[in-house]
Amino acid sequence: MSAEPSNGGGAMKSNGIFKVVDQVIIQIFKWICIVTFASIMVLVTANVLLRYIPITSINWYGEIVELCFAWMIFYGAAAVWIARGHFSAGDWIGKRLKKPRVRATYHFLVEIISFVFIAIFFWYSRELFNRSIEVTESLQFPKKVIYSCMPISSAVMVLYSIKFIILGIIDIVKPEKAEEKANQA
What secondary structure letter does DSSP report for 133? -
How much is the pLDDT for 8? 41
2 occurs within a structural domain: no
pLDDT mean over 90-104: 82
CB 106 within 8 A of CB 91: no
Domain range enclosing 22: 12-184
Phi/psi at 135 (nearest 5 deg)? -125, 155
Query: pLDDT-derived band of residue 140, with 50, 70 and 90 as boundaries?
Result: very high
Query: pLDDT-derived band of residue 114, with 50, 70 and 90 as boundaries?
Result: very high
Total tally of structural domains belonging to the chain: 1
CB 110 within 8 A of CB 90: yes
How many angstroms separate the CA atoms of 166 and 127, rounded?
27
**Mean of per-residue pLDDT scores for the chain:** 87
How much is the pLDDT for 178? 67
1 occurs within a structural domain: no
16 occurs within a structural domain: yes
17 occurs within a structural domain: yes
3 occurs within a structural domain: no
41 occurs within a structural domain: yes
87 occurs within a structural domain: yes
* More confident: 74 or 99: 74
7 occurs within a structural domain: no
